[in-house]
Amino acid sequence: MVVLELHIKPTFAHTIPHNISIYFFSSLQMDPNACSMQHSHCVEMTMEVHQVVPPPHKSTLHKLKARLKETFFPDDPLRQFKGQPLKRKLVLGAQYLFPILEWGPKYSFKLFKSDLVSGLTIASLAIPQGISYAKLANLPPIVGLYSSFVPPLVYAVLGSSRDLAVGPVSIASLVMGSMLRQEVSPTADPVLFLQLAFTSTFFAGLFQASLGILRLGFIIDFLSKAILIGFMAGAAIIVSLQQLKSLLGITHFTNQMGLIPVMTSVRMDFTYLYYLKFYFCGFSAVVMANDTDGDVLSSATTISQTRYLSQPSIKKPKLFWVSAGAPLLSVIISTLLVFAAKAQNHGISVIGKLQQGINPPSWNMLRFHGTHLGLIMKTGLITGILSLTEGIAVGRTFAALKNYKVDGNKEMMAIGFMNMVGSSTSCYVTTGAFSRSAVNNNAGAKTAVSNVVMSVTVMVTLLFLMPLFQYTPNVVLGAIIVTAVIGLIDLPAAYNIWKIDKFDFLVMLVAFMGVLFISVQGGLGLAVGLSTFKILMQITRPKTVMLGKIPGTDIYRNLHQYKEAVRIPGFLILSIEAPINFANITYLNERTLRWIEEEENIKEQLNLRFLILEMSAVSAIDTSGISLFKELKATLEKKGVELVLVNPLAEVIEKLKKVDEASDFIQADNLFLTVGEAIASLSSAMKSQSSTL
């Protein structure tokens, strides 16, 4: 028998040499024939046991500063300013506030060619969609065009996304229209309704900009992808149903938004339909469907899938140009048809005369007092959050796709400022639209100049082409809305969520049903509440997992997950998988004692000697958490079980040490860096104890 003895000098002040047998070698012995080191059986060496140390001391102020920085400046936006001369700092600062200063000077004719094409393409979408969405918000159609003129210009100067196509969007339009209609009728008092809409837009902008300036952008993260999928599907159905009014030409339509009142309206009014109207509408709808359906739909689905599943590629639909041009084409064809057939005299409702000229100022229409202020602020808040979520998500998706960075908080300031400017120039709430941004990207947009091109095109339309829209039938606008929003229903994403996470699916369903049967705010609120509740429950009921040794290694893992892992007799090794705090100490206490009781009942061959708590996943602890250890230690002592802590992380060991100064309750021999070292050290101590007895 050969005995090899290895002496290792303790190289660090905090390591204590212990005399223990090394399991590593004995485990190699399992198959002696395969092992040429057969005599290692009796290898004994002096091995280090590593001590757990607290992190270097830092003052409370210093920690607070670090914490605040991580909370509000995780992207460290001032990093690039460091070490630069003052002049450079000023330039960088200006570029930070106005990204146009960064890319503007490098702008070339080649880029402009791309931007021109894409700008014209999105303009051809923006004009009919602008008119349609304004009607969705119960606003005069022209406001939709105004909103496609000023905001894109503002965004081109302030925004940092190169692909965002700015303008009114369906969801925010729907929500604004339906919320404001709760108190003011858009037909009985159109001026007041317009005032409320502009003031809501101002508050939406103010709220968005504040989120950005106060760096509270993470609030929109609580609208998770699951919530958005459910919410948008519900909203799409409601929007589509509301278009039944124009599609079927129903005259007495409900003012409410829910599924039930809309369905009731449709049923009640259905019998009164004029046959002529019905057929003409049907015909128009079919024209529309043929023109745009497959392609706009597939493009919208593609972008929405991209967003949800974050696939790094957007496939260009084959009939892309047809799809992009279809809405405008439908408007032109149907307008010509109505004009030719003089169908407006046969019960087909048309847009009618529109005022020529660019946006009139509207700051005198902002109302910061009066009875409706509460509603205005609520509407501003909700449309602000919704449009911000859409804008930021679209911006981030394309930034990731093209490998550039979009600063979320900076974007919020840009979108917020854009809406505040918009509210004084007759625009209602705008943001970066899903579908139009996808078209913009497909058409080859390179910079925000495509927004400028679109804006100029809309301006030309406003100045010179308004009379052409006089005969555009409302039914076409309805069809445009329906085709745009139907693509927001993302069944594959919903199926994916079902497959991966059932709770997320439930959240999605709550958002969907809530929007359909309660209200937009109600559905969103319920779903956000439910998902926040889930997070809290993860903390309140943290997982505790029993660990075992994976044979032949020093690795300890979940016994349930790794079937080959084995228990070490006399030890109960639990891993706690959450921060320990006031919300879960009662549970952890009860659960740990239950583990021990179960232990006592089952295995009577060897008494439980040590409870090892593996703390690698306990990221934080508070004063209640500290008291849990004290309580546990006292209870365990009565049962003759010793409490051992393994790998407490920086914050935890720091606080334990602070308590220790007073009461000395966690000694070095109950504190180990790894489970392996703890077991080795404790079982050798146990053995030497029993041999001396």
Residue from 1, 12, 252, 369 binding a copy of itself (CB under 8 A): 12
CB nearer a copy of itself, residue 462 or residue 618: 618
Judged by CB under 8 A, does residue 75 bind a copy of itself?
yes
Distance between CA 488 and CA 483 in Å, rounded? 9
Q: Judged by CB under 8 A, which of 1, 7, 602, 667 binds a copy of itself?
A: 7
Of residues 623 through 682, those in contact with a copy of itself by CB under 8 A are 623-624, 626-627, 630-631, 634-635, 638, 647, 649-650, 653, 655, 658-659, 662, 673-674
Q: At residue 487, what is the residue type?
A: G
Given 9, 87, 110, 252, the residue binding a copy of itself (CB under 8 A): 9
Q: How far is the CB of 56 from a copy of itself (least distance, A)?
A: 7
Q: Which stretch binds a copy of itself (CB under 8 A): 8-16, 175-183, 324-332, 356-364?
A: 8-16
5 forms beta bridges with: 44
Give me the least distance between CB of 42 and a copy of itself, in Å please: 14
Between residues 72 and 274, which has the closer beta carbon with respect to a copy of itself?
72
φ, ψ of residue 167 in degrees (nearest 5): 165, -175
Q: Which residues pair with 45 in a beta bridge?
A: 6, 20
Which is nearer to a copy of itself, 436 or 655 (by Cβ)?
655
496 binds a copy of itself (CB under 8 A): yes
Question: For residue 30, what is the DSSP state?
Answer: G
Q: DSSP per residue over 180-221, as a string? A: HTTTS-TTT-HHHHHHHHHHHHHHHHHHHHHHHHTT-GGGGG
Q: How far apart are CA 243 and CA 245, in angstroms?
A: 5
Nearer to a copy of itself, 258 or 523 (CB): 523
Q: Does 693 bind a copy of itself (CB under 8 A)?
A: no
- For 609, counting Cβ atoms within 10 Å of its Cβ (0-12 exposed, 13-18 middle, 19+ buried), the class is middle
Binding a copy of itself by CB under 8 A: which of 282, 312, 467, 569?
312
Of the listed pieces 112-120, 180-188, 372-380, 493-501, which binds a copy of itself according to CB under 8 A? 493-501
Q: Least CB distance from residue 17 to a copy of itself, whole Å?
A: 11
- Nearest approach in angstroms of CB 345 to a copy of itself is 54
Residues in region 502-561 near a copy of itself by CB under 8 A: 502-504, 531-532, 535-543, 545, 550-555, 557-558, 560-561
Residues 359-418 that bind a copy of itself (CB under 8 A): 400, 403, 408
Is there binding between residue 21 and a copy of itself (CB under 8 A)? no
CB 231, CB 527: distance < 8 Å: yes
CB of 611 to a copy of itself, least distance (A): 16
**Token duo for residue 479:** 């069809």
Q: Which is nearer to a copy of itself, 57 or 252 (CB)?
A: 57
Closest by alpha carbon to 130, among 112, 148, 156?
Answer: 148
Neighbours of 188 (CB within 10 A): 8
39 touches a copy of itself (CB under 8 A)? no
CA pair distance 208, 216, nearest whole angstrom:
10
Binding of a copy of itself by 53 (CB under 8 A): yes
3-state secondary structure of 166: strand
CB of 181 to a copy of itself, least distance (A): 30
| CA–CA gap between residue 30 and residue 8 (Å, rounded) | 27
37 binding a copy of itself? (CB under 8 A): yes
In angstroms, what is the minimal distance from the CB of 579 to a copy of itself?
6
Answer yes or no whether residue 308 interacts with a copy of itself by CB under 8 A. Answer: yes
Helices within 253-370 (DSSP H only): 259-270, 275-309, 320-341
Strand pairing class (642-646; 610-614) = parallel
- Minimum distance from CB of 260 to a copy of itself (Å)? 30
Q: Looking only at residues 142 through 181 of this chain, which bind a copy of itself when binding is defined by CB under 8 A?
A: none
User: Is 16 one of the binding residues for a copy of itself (CB under 8 A)?
Assistant: no
DSSP state of 39: G
Site stretch for a copy of itself (CB under 8 A), options 181-189, 200-208, 478-486, 494-502: 494-502
The residue among 302 and 457 lying less far from a copy of itself, judged by its C-beta, is 302
Per-residue DSSP letter, 367: -
The residue count for binding a copy of itself (CB under 8 A) is 114
Least distance to a copy of itself, CB of residue 537, Å: 7
Which residue bears the tokens 């109960």?
Answer: 572
Beta strands per DSSP E along 487-617: 544-549, 556-558, 571-576, 610-614
| Closest CB to a copy of itself among residues 55, 282 | 55
Type and span of the H or E element at 685? helix 675-692
| Smallest distance from a copy of itself to CB 511, Å | 12
The conformational region for residue 3 under phi > 0 = left, psi -120 to 50 = alpha, else beta, is: beta
| Tokens read off for 82 | 């460091």
Answer for which of 112, 222, 320, 321 binds a copy of itself (CB under 8 A) is: 222
Of 126 and 211, which CB lies nearer to a copy of itself in the complex structure?
Answer: 211
Residue 453 or 578: the one with the smaller Cβ distance to a copy of itself is 578
Sites for a copy of itself among residues 226-285 (CB under 8 A): 226
Other CB atoms within a 10 A radius of the CB of residue 371 amount to 9
- Residue 452 to residue 151: CA distance in whole angstroms: 10
Q: Please tell me the total number of residues recorded for the chain in this structure.
A: 693
Cβ atoms within 10 Å of 614's Cβ, excluding its own? 23
Footprint of a copy of itself on 566-595 (CB under 8 A): 577-579, 581-587, 590-591, 594
CA 96 – CA 11 distance, rounded (Å) = 50
